[in-house]
Structure 1
Amino acid sequence: MPPSFNTLAAPSPASPSWRGSHPGALSVASSAQPPTEILPHLFIADLGAAENPKVLIQLGITHVLSAMCGRVLLPANMPLAQLQLPLQDSPFAELADYLPASTLFLSDALRDPKARVLVHCAQGISRSSSVVCAYLIAKYGWSPEQALRFVKSKYALADPNPGFVMQLGEYARSLERTR
């Protein structure tokens, strides 16, 4: 673990409560993989999981951050707070403009101990993991490399495209200037 990690404030992939898959992991037929808890109450998944009422109910999801263009069909009968970022999964797509709003949405939601947040994109690979990495960068002061390494330790599918990784670096530098 790099010395800049704050082991008292930040979760550790080595901690016993974070090893392996989450107990009671879901089997979602329409999803490549069930939602994965990255931090307490913060999950990553794909669109299939976000649109599946059984998954949302079983996880107790209260907030959904959709990092994708197009319509997301969240269950109408569930009171969910939602933020949708119209992101394309392209190295040239503008991610950085959306990171302050996504970080604020996640920070505000996770202040409530009863909140459970799902971040998703179409496949749950690039856009959603980039947004979660940006949150970790803002919350813990981690570098993009540290944040991505942590997310990948929980969620092997995480693989932001190269343009998003570069923009995470820009975001980290912008946060350093304001601290």
Structure 2
Amino acid sequence: MFNNGDLTEEQLKNVVQGPGDVEWKYEMRRECQQILPGLLLGPFVASKSLETLQSLNISHIVCIRDQKEAFSVKPRFPDHFRYLVLDVEDNEEQNLIRLFPSAKAFIDQAIANGGRVLVHCNGGISLSPAFVVMFVMQHYALSWEDALHMVQNRRYCISPNGGFLTQIKEYEAIYRANRAVATYPAGPRSARRKREDDDDEEDDRDDDRKRPLVEHAVPSFQPMVPVDEFAMET
């Protein structure tokens, strides 16, 4: 599986820039493009041709659609490919971050097993590109700007709406925080345990200060018995 740890800074720069010899043409909007090895992005029309999908060695398809489009944007070849269908709303209020983990897990598993994944929505312009941008951003540990440029440099026509773009920016902070926690999972707990131990020691010292250093025995006094001065006389 690809990750930025396998690449030098120069290689990563080249990955973001993409192939420089591609002449983008308007009709290419109706085709799918490879974003990373094993990951392709395109419109729904690219998923309607069984011959095309097989020629690209596609094995998995992420179908992202607005619920109003479910009658037409749907899996066409369930006997040939594994599908993940995400019903969303293509508007700025839709929460993509909540839906992204299931898409990421599906793509990860497919590529790890040697598969090739096509991610599509209806037009391949806003909705599905937002998912793909978040995916490449996390796997290559990119900033949101670099991730967006990386996808745009391969599918020039993408343009996530304002709400999706805001969530892409927010996701950068989320994935970086998760990476930091995964890198140092024992740090906070160890510090907390140490603090608890210190507190216990402090409590013991407080108890010692409150406890008397010497416990004095209370003397036991015997009552004095008067002596009978005539007791020895017989």
Number of equivalenced pairs: 165
CA distance in 2, matches of 1:33, 1:7: 32
Given that 1:51 and 1:72 are in contact with CA atoms closer than 8 Å, whether structure 2 keeps it comes out as: no
Greater mean alpha carbon deviation, residues 68-77 or residues 4-13: 4-13
User: Counterparts of 1:127 and 1:119 in 2: how far apart (Å)?
Assistant: 10
Q: Secondary structure at the match of 2:119?
A: strand
1:26 aligned residue: none
Output the CA distance in 2 between the equivalents of 1:58 and 1:34: 13
SS in 1 for 2:41: strand
Distance apart, 1:32 and its partner CA? 4.1
Structure 1 gap segments, 5+ residues each? 23-28
Conservation of the 8 A alpha-carbon contact between 1:99 and 1:171: no
- Identity value in percent: 25
Q: 1:21 to 1:37 in 2, by over 3 A?
A: farther
* Residues 146 and 72 of structure 1: CA distance in aligned 2, closer, same or farther (over 3 Å): same
TM-aligned CA deviation for residue 142 of structure 1: 1.1
Root-mean-square deviation (CA), in Å? 2.5
1:63 aligns with 2:60: yes
Structure exhibiting the larger radius of gyration computed from Cα positions: 2
For 2:61 and 2:124, the matched residues in 1 are separated by 13
Tell me the residue number matched to 1:43: 40
Matched, 1:12 2:10: no
Equivalent residues in 2 for 1:86-125 (5 A)?
Answer: 86-113=87-114, 115-125=115-125
- The verdict on how the C-alpha distance between 1:21 and 1:53 changes in structure 2, with shifts beyond 3 A counting, is farther
- Measured after TM superposition, the shift of residue 20 of structure 1 is 3.8
Q: Aligned letter for 1:90?
A: N
Moved beyond 3 Å, runs of 4+? 4-11, 18-22
Hey, what does 1:25 align to over in structure 2? none
- TM-score, normalised to structure 1, is 0.81
Deviation (angstroms), 1:112:
2.4
TM-score by length of 2: 0.63
